[in-house]
Amino acid sequence: MRRVVGLASLLVLAVSAARADVPIEQLGRTENLTAPPNPHWVWVADVLLRRSALLDLDRGAFLGMVSTGYLAPTASFSRSRSEFYWPETYYSRGSRGSRTDVVTFYDTLSLSPTGEVVIPPKRAINVLPSGNAALTDDDRFLAVFNMTPATSLSIVDVGRRAFVGEIATPGCSLVFAAGTRRFLVLCADGSLLTVTLDDAGREASKVRAAAFFDWRSDPVTEKAVRYGDRWLFVSFEGIVHPVDVSGDAPRIEATWSLLDADDRSASWKIGGYQHLAVHQASGRFYSLMHQGGADTHKEPGSELWVYDLATRKRIQRLELRHPGFSLLSQDFEFGRSWVWPFDRLYDWMLDFVVPNPGVSQIQVTQDDEPLLVTGSQFSGSVAVYEARSLRFLRRVPSGNLTVHSLQAPWGGRGRAP
């Protein structure tokens, strides 16, 4: 009898072990990102939803997001501290009431705001992916571009988390970092204003140089990219204007063209809202291109052209695929696990059936296995390619309604603006 009871107990134990309860879990837990931030983590901003989503391009995963207030598509990322800075605008009654502009400090791993500095309520409100704020190369001062439409810069000491003051930049707009205490500002006559700060962040000097392009015949776009100590401005007609900022005064270098005679006769043009990207370590320069007439400088790109900045020659050319289709933030990708060739049905539908909205934004990650990411202002999805071979890898849904800027701030040897 004792033996029977013992066997029965063992059986009960075995059954309970096989059907173990789900462990009791703790309430109130919140995830943090793991350190260090991965170079393949990319910020995808949506000004309609007033947010930016952080995506892992390798896993195709949504990692988190920040809410960024009214029309604030880009952040500035510190290289020396685990934080980033978002110039934001808020109204006391949502879309109306009293306006407050702040620079919000976010922790890189928790994505939580850790503080803010109130700045004058003059921040320039536009959809540009660059030029609205810049961090000095030593991560000490942040300059925020103001437009009321009088133009100026608000200077924030991010180390002390304090507003320093405002520097007027009459006739000149936007802001680009150019050293530890210098900023470049682009003027309406095609010249550059160099603003130098003292160690307290106050104006030390303002020097305006001669015009380096003709804004009437062939203006440069605002979407310049930084390559080491150079800023590369590109004009509507595809002329690259390199500006070396390593010295006290910016040095204008010889221009070169993205287009040859054949390209021009075939009406190839630069275009898009974030139409340039550069991989610092390899010196590869990526440009969105389309065929169009005059004043099509914001048309989405149908092709991606890649240049070697050492030789200034085009080395690759890629017909871009559909960046992905989303509707009301819902991504419609299906059939990835279906058997061949049906697993390609969705790609085929996107590429050949659904009208391709074109690519408005590109960005490249700054690691040694770089990825190229493309987005469209008419979709929340982004497409991912290997940046060297240009092999298409995958599409990643962001939950956005639109894409307004792409930022890949981490893991590079140089700065990715």
Where does this chain bind other proteins (CB under 8 A)? 48, 70-71, 89, 91, 95-97, 99, 124-128, 131, 147-149, 172-174, 186-188, 215, 219-222, 295-299, 325, 327, 330, 332, 334, 349, 353-355
Note whether 155 and 143 are within 8 A (CB): yes
Question: Three-state SS for 343?
Answer: helix
Minimal CA–CA distance to 43: which of 34, 52, 51? 52
Nearer to other proteins, 38 or 104 (CB): 104
Choose between 48 and 207: whose C-beta lies nearer to other proteins: 48
Query: How many other CB atoms are found less than 10 A from the CB of residue 260?
Result: 11
Q: Rank residues 164 and 193 by Cβ distance to other proteins and give the closer one.
A: 193
Burial of 91 (0-12, 13-18, 19+ CB in 10 A): middle
CA triple 380-386-387, angle to 5 deg: 95
Residue 78 beta carbon to other proteins: minimum distance, rounded to whole angstroms: 26
Residue 95 CB, nearest approach to other proteins (Å): 4
**What residues does 55 pair with on adjacent strands?**
42, 62
Shortest separation between residue 139's beta carbon and other proteins, angstroms: 26
Q: Which residue has 């990526």 as its token pair?
A: 286
d(CA 409, CA 144): 18
Q: How far is the CB of 90 from other proteins (least distance, A)?
A: 11
Of 49 and 164, which CB lies nearer to other proteins in the complex structure?
49
Measured CA to CA, the distance from residue 72 to residue 118 in angstroms comes to 15
CB of 125 to other proteins, least distance (A): 4
4 versus 328: smaller Cβ distance to other proteins:
328
Kindly list the strands in the beta sheet with 371-375, ordered across the sheet, starting from the edge strand earlier in the chain: 361-364, 371-375, 381-386, 392-397
Least Å distance between CB 171 and other proteins? Answer: 9
Characterize 170-179 residue by residue with b for buried, 16 or more Cβ atoms within 10 angstroms of its Cβ, and e for exposed. eebbbbbbbb
Closer of 140 and 223 to other proteins (Cβ): 223
CB of 48 to other proteins, least distance (A): 7
Dihedral of the alpha carbons of 245, 249, 252, 258, in degrees to the nearest 10: 20
For other proteins, the closer CB: 127 or 390: 127
